[in-house]
Structure 1
Amino acid sequence: MNILVAVEELRIGGAQTFALRLAQALHEAGHCVFLYNMYWQYTEHDLVKRLAPDVELLQYNPVSKSLDNLLLRSDGWMQRHGHSSALRLGSLRKHLKQVIEEKNIQVISSNTFKADQLCAQVLRELPHIPLVVTMHGDYEQFLSAYQQGHIHAIPSYIQLLTETVGRINGVAYLSEQNLEALRPTVVGAVTGHIHLKQIYNGLEGRFSDEAAYFTRKALEVPAEALVYGMVARGVPEKGWVPVIQAFQRLQKDVTRPLRLLLIGASQFVDQLRKEYQSNQDIQFLGFINNPVDCIASLDVGILASSLKESLPNSIAEYLFCGKAVISTNVGEIQRMIRTDDDHEAGILIDFPTEGLADADQLYQAMLQYATNESLLKQHQTWAPDAFAKFNMDRCVAAYTSLYQDCLNAMHTAALV
Structure 2
Amino acid sequence: MNILFVIDCLNLGGAQTFLLRLVRALAPNHNIIIYVLYPNERDKQLEQSFLNGLNVKIVSVFTYTKISNWLVGKVGNALYRLGYKTFRKDITDRLIVNRLKFIILSEKINVINSHLFASDWMVFQIIKNTNIRWFVSMHGCYETFLHGGYYEKFKLDYIDHDFIEKSECVFKRANGIILASDKNKKINSYLSQETVNNVKQKKIYYGFQPNHFVKKERSEYNIPGDRLIFGMVARGIKEKGWKFLLNSFMGLINEGFSNIHLILVCDRTPYIDGLKEEYTHDNILFTGPSYSPLEWVHLMDVTILPTYFSGESLPNSVIEYLYANKPVIACNTGDISTMVSDQDEKAGFLIPLTESNRPDQEALTSAMRAYILDPNLKIKHGEIAKAAFQKFDMNYCVESYLNFFQDK
Same fold (TM over 0.5): yes
Aligned with 1:402 (options 394, 401, 404): 404
Q: Return closer, same or farther for 1:37/1:67 CA change in 2, 3 Å cut-off.
A: farther
Q: Return closer, same or farther for 1:151/1:302 CA change in 2, 3 Å cut-off.
A: closer
**Identity fraction in percent:** 30
Question: What's the secondary structure of 2:219's corresponding residue?
Answer: coil
Letter in 1 for 2:43: E
Q: Return closer, same or farther for 1:217/1:186 CA change in 2, 3 Å cut-off.
A: same
CA distance in 2, matches of 1:188, 1:147: 27
State the partner residue of 1:9. 9
State the partner residue of 1:44. 43
| 8 A contact 1:6–1:36 mirrored in 2 | yes
State the partner residue of 2:187. 181
How do 1:12-23 and structure 2 match up within 5 A? 12-23=12-23
Q: Return closer, same or farther for 1:9/1:62 CA change in 2, 3 Å cut-off.
A: closer
CA distance in 2, matches of 1:86, 1:390: 40
State the partner residue of 2:162. 156
Letter in 2 for 1:3: I
| 8 A contact 1:112–1:138 mirrored in 2 | yes
Following superposition, the deviation at residue 193 of structure 1 comes to 2.6
Letter in 1 for 2:372: A
How do 1:3-402 and structure 2 match up within 5 A? 3-28=3-28, 30-53=29-52, 54=54, 55-61=56-62, 65-66=68-69, 70=73, 86-125=90-129, 127-145=130-148, 150=153, 156-183=162-189, 185-186=190-191, 190-208=195-213, 211=214, 214-255=216-257, 257-264=259-266, 265-277=268-280, 279-308=281-310, 309-339=312-342, 341-402=343-404
CA distance in 1, matches of 2:286, 2:205: 30
TM-score normalised over the length of structure 2: 0.89
Following superposition, the deviation at residue 150 of structure 1 comes to 3.5
Following superposition, the deviation at residue 353 of structure 1 comes to 2.8
| 8 A contact 2:240–2:307 mirrored in 1 | yes
| 8 A contact 1:195–1:402 mirrored in 2 | no
Q: Return closer, same or farther for 1:32/1:361 CA change in 2, 3 Å cut-off.
A: same
| 8 A contact 1:334–1:348 mirrored in 2 | yes
1:249-292 Cα deviation digits (max 9, x unpaired): 11233546100001112110001101112x00011111111111
Letter in 2 for 1:270: D
CA distance in 2, matches of 1:343, 1:112: 33
| 8 A contact 1:158–1:186 mirrored in 2 | yes
Moved more, 249-258 or 135-144: 249-258
Letter in 1 for 2:101: K
| 8 A contact 2:248–2:361 mirrored in 1 | yes
CA distance in 2, matches of 1:288, 1:301: 16
Q: Return closer, same or farther for 1:311/1:148 CA change in 2, 3 Å cut-off.
A: closer
Q: Return closer, same or farther for 1:148/1:256 CA change in 2, 3 Å cut-off.
A: closer
| 8 A contact 2:227–2:260 mirrored in 1 | yes
Moved more, 86-95 or 195-204: 86-95
Q: Which residues of structure 1 form unaligned runs of 5+?
A: 409-416
Following superposition, the deviation at residue 355 of structure 1 comes to 4.8
Question: What's the secondary structure of 1:217's corresponding residue?
Answer: helix
Q: Return closer, same or farther for 1:177/1:120 CA change in 2, 3 Å cut-off.
A: same
Following superposition, the deviation at residue 297 of structure 1 comes to 0.1
CA distance in 2, matches of 1:383, 1:82: 50
CA distance in 2, matches of 1:194, 1:295: 39
Following superposition, the deviation at residue 166 of structure 1 comes to 2.2
1:198-242 Cα deviation digits (max 9, x unpaired): 00011112342xx35x32221221111100011111111111111
Question: What's the secondary structure of 2:221's corresponding residue?
Answer: coil
TM-score normalised over the length of structure 1: 0.87
Q: Return closer, same or farther for 1:404/1:285 CA change in 2, 3 Å cut-off.
A: same
Over aligned residue pairs, what C-alpha RMSD do you find? 2.9
Question: What's the secondary structure of 1:190's corresponding residue?
Answer: helix
Task: Count residues in correspondence.
Answer: 393
Following superposition, the deviation at residue 90 of structure 1 comes to 1.8
| 8 A contact 2:234–2:265 mirrored in 1 | yes
| 8 A contact 1:163–1:189 mirrored in 2 | no
Moved more, 350-359 or 93-102: 350-359
| 8 A contact 2:72–2:88 mirrored in 1 | no
CA distance in 2, matches of 1:357, 1:122: 42
Q: Which residues of structure 2 form unaligned runs of 5+?
A: none
| 8 A contact 2:76–2:88 mirrored in 1 | no
Following superposition, the deviation at residue 174 of structure 1 comes to 1.4
Question: What's the secondary structure of 1:166's corresponding residue?
Answer: helix
